[in-house]
């Protein structure tokens, strides 16, 4: 069924998704068939204030309003109509971090984002207390670090939430959070679909000597799974979102979610035994597992899908930056020869040629560490290319070594899941810049994690589309399907993308490469210790 976007917007049947990324706020408007029909965006940057990464509340609201203004202008230019009503709205944002408010709804300290690493002691102590890996960026780590540091604001906390939870609260008055985002505040019990009661009790007992007037459960947002009602846009909220005054209140909102959950939704990877890999400047994999891991691992974060299934997440700080830098060098050489430069052609030629190289890269090894890499135990990084005189040094092997390096750390983390924990997976979907040259990054990743990799055209729509789909699930799920079935039937209609499976030779080759990689990590560590 094809719909006319103008009629959809005029009838108030369009659905809005807005996602706050670390460098861009993006809005996507979709029709009744879940197809994008308009978008808007706003660029922004975090600030380092008093040694902590933050965005001011002024920047948050200006960014939201400017993003919506851009969407409104896009709709006017394309269709000649104003947005006055919508079927539903979804809000999403980068996960974790710390936004603490007092009883007057005033923020107590500037928003502390996921980037901050001042929570080392708190994360370590909580991981030991809970017998569960608690990452530095989780909200509970930020809260406990503030307690350890005797910050005076802690006694005044009335509500603690994430960025998505804050915006949703201000638009609707509801102190709620989608379960995926909530799982980055405090571990979730997969049975109750709520915060772990035993961990809440342990935390309250831990801080009892401080005598704060609150208990942990009192200050956290209520946890909601996908499809649950999460309030409606208030008149005040409508005016804060659309400063032109055209948008009306009363629009239902889905539970606010984190960017990991919307990425899973946008790649149709919320069903157990599916997963997705995002590979760009940084990379992470999300594998939806059938049961909890046998023990905690420092390199694996446990979060959930928007409908509450457990997800094992491996996050890597580095991915394509070093690879892009080397391609830039070849661009300079091309310009030096006086030849016309087409970056897509340069990437295409170099990447495709890499597939002609030896599967073990002829012994060549690359470390793409622009920054530190916790999975391999490095607080800082130095980009490094390593070879010995006996290695097969040619262009194909050189490029393949750098492609392998872009997913090497991801492989190390996922090897724990597949080899040690015997996790089973039916489909993994790749999205991000690494997969732009068709078939190459996909084949390299397939060899790295010894699994077929699918790439879908729609994966590029991103998290704003993902949260719009969650808002669609709230109001359009007339058959009361599970989220996974709704996505399969109503959104992707059986399209699983183009799949590439690795050959035995490719898997063995990457395994040989990763053994060299691990053996040579001492060289990388020495380069970090030698302060250049």
Whether 458 shows a pLDDT value over 70: the answer reads: no
Residues in Cβ contact with 446 at an 8 Å cutoff, skipping those fewer than 6 apart = 452, 453, 500, 501, 502, 506
What is the Cα–Cα distance from 290 to 97, expressed in whole angstroms? 28
Are 96-161+186-219 and 268-317+413-500 equal in CATH topology?
yes
Domain 96-161+186-219: give its CATH architecture.
2-Layer Sandwich (3.30)
Is residue 1 very low, low, confident or very high in pLDDT (cuts 50, 70, 90)?
very low
Per the CB < 8 A criterion, the answer to whether 285 and 445 are in contact is: no
Question: Would you state the pLDDT for residue 374?
Answer: 82
Question: Would you state the pLDDT for residue 483?
Answer: 97
Is residue 317 very low, low, confident or very high in pLDDT (cuts 50, 70, 90)?
confident
Dihedral angle over CA of 417, 420, 422, 428, nearest 10:
20
Is residue 408 very low, low, confident or very high in pLDDT (cuts 50, 70, 90)?
very high
Whether 2 shows a pLDDT value over 60: the answer reads: no
Q: Which of these, 44, 42, 29, lies nearest to 76 by C-alpha position?
A: 29
Per the CB < 8 A criterion, the answer to whether 400 and 357 are in contact is: yes
Average pLDDT over residues 485-493: 93
Phi, psi of 506, deg, nearest 5: -65, -40
At 232-242, the pLDDT tens digits run 999 999 999 99
What is the Cα–Cα distance from 300 to 310, expressed in whole angstroms? 12
Q: How many CB atoms lie within 10 A of CB 213?
A: 9
Question: Would you state the pLDDT for residue 169?
Answer: 98
What is the Cα–Cα distance from 421 to 187, expressed in whole angstroms? 20
Which fold does the domain 268-317+413-500 belong to in CATH? Nucleotidyltransferase; domain 5 (3.30.420)
At 127-152, the pLDDT tens digits run 999 999 999 999 999 999 999 999 99
Average pLDDT over residues 157-173: 98
- The residues spanned by each domain of the chain are 96-161+186-219, 268-317+413-500, 321-405+506-529
Q: Which of these, 178, 395, 424, lies nearest to 303 by C-alpha position?
A: 178
Q: Which of these, 94, 107, 105, 109, lies nearest to 46 by C-alpha position?
A: 94
Give one DSSP letter per residue of 36-99, joined into a string.
EEEEEEEE---EEETTEEE--HHHHHHHHHHHHHHHHHHHHHHHS------SEEEEEE----BE
DSSP state of 220: S
Question: Would you state the pLDDT for residue 342?
Answer: 92
């Amino acid at each position: 069924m094809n719909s006319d976007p103008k009629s959809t917007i005029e009838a108030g049947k369009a659905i809005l998704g807005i996602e706050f990324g670390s460098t861009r706020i993006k809005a996507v408007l979709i029709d009744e068939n879940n197809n994008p029909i308009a978008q808007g965006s706003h660029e922004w940057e975090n600030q380092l204030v008093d040694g902590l990464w933050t965005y001011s509340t002024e920047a948050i609201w200006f960014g939201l309003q400017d993003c919506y203004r851009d969407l409104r202008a896009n709709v006017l230019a394309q269709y000649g109509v104003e947005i006055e009503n919508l079927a539903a709205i979804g809000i999403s944002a980068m996960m974790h971090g710390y936004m603490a408010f007092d009883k007057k709804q005033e923020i107590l300290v500037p928003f502390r984002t996921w980037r901050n690493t001042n929570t080392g002691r708190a994360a370590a102590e909580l991981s030991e207390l809970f017998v569960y890996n608690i990452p530095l960026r989780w909200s509970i780590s930020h809260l406990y670090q503030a307690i350890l540091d005797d910050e005076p604001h802690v006694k005044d906390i009335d509500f603690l939430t994430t960025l998505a939870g804050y915006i949703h609260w201000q638009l609707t008055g509801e102190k709620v959070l989608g379960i995926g985002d909530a799982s980055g505040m405090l571990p979730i019990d997969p049975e109750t679909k709520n915060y772990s009661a035993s961990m809440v009790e342990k935390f309250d007992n831990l801080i009892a000597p401080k005598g704060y007037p609150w208990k942990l459960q009192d200050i956290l947002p209520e946890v909601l799974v996908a499809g649950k009602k999460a309030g409606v846009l208030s008149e005040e909220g409508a005016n804060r979102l659309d400063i032109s005054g055209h948008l009306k209140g009363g629009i239902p909102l889905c539970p606010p979610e984190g960017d990991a959950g919307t990425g899973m939704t946008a790649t149709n990877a919320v069903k157990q035994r599916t997963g997705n890999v995002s590979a760009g400047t940084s990379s992470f994999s999300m594998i939806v597992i059938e049961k909890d891991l046998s023990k905690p691992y420092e390199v694996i974060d446990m979060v959930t899908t928007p409908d509450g299934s457990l997800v094992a997440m491996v996050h890597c700080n580095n991915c394509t930056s070093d690879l892009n830098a080397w391609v830039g060098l070849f661009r300079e050489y091309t310009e030096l020869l006086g030849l016309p430069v087409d970056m897509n052609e340069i990437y295409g030629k170099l990447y495709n040629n890499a597939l002609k190289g030896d599967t073990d890269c002829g012994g060549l090894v690359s470390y793409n560490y622009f920054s530190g890499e916790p999975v391999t135990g490095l607080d800082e990084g130095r980009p490094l290319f390593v070879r010995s005189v006996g290695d097969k040094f040619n262009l194909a092997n050189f490029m393949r070594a750098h492609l392998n390096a872009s997913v090497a750390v991801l492989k190390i983390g996922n090897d724990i899941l597949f080899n040690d924990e015997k996790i089973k997976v039916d489909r993994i979907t790749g999205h991000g810049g690494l997969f732009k040259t068709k078939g190459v990054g996909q084949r390299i990743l397939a060899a790295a994690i010894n699994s077929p990799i699918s790439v879908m055209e729609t994966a590029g729509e991103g998290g704003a589309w993902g949260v719009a789909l969650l808002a669609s699930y709230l109001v359009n799920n007339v058959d009361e399907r599970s989220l996974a079935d709704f996505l399969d039937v109503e959104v992707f209609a059986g399209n699983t993308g183009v799949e590439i499976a690795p050959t035995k030779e490719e898997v063995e080759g990457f395994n040989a490469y990763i053994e060299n990689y691990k053996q040579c990590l001492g060289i990388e560590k020495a380069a970090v210790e030698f302060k250049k």
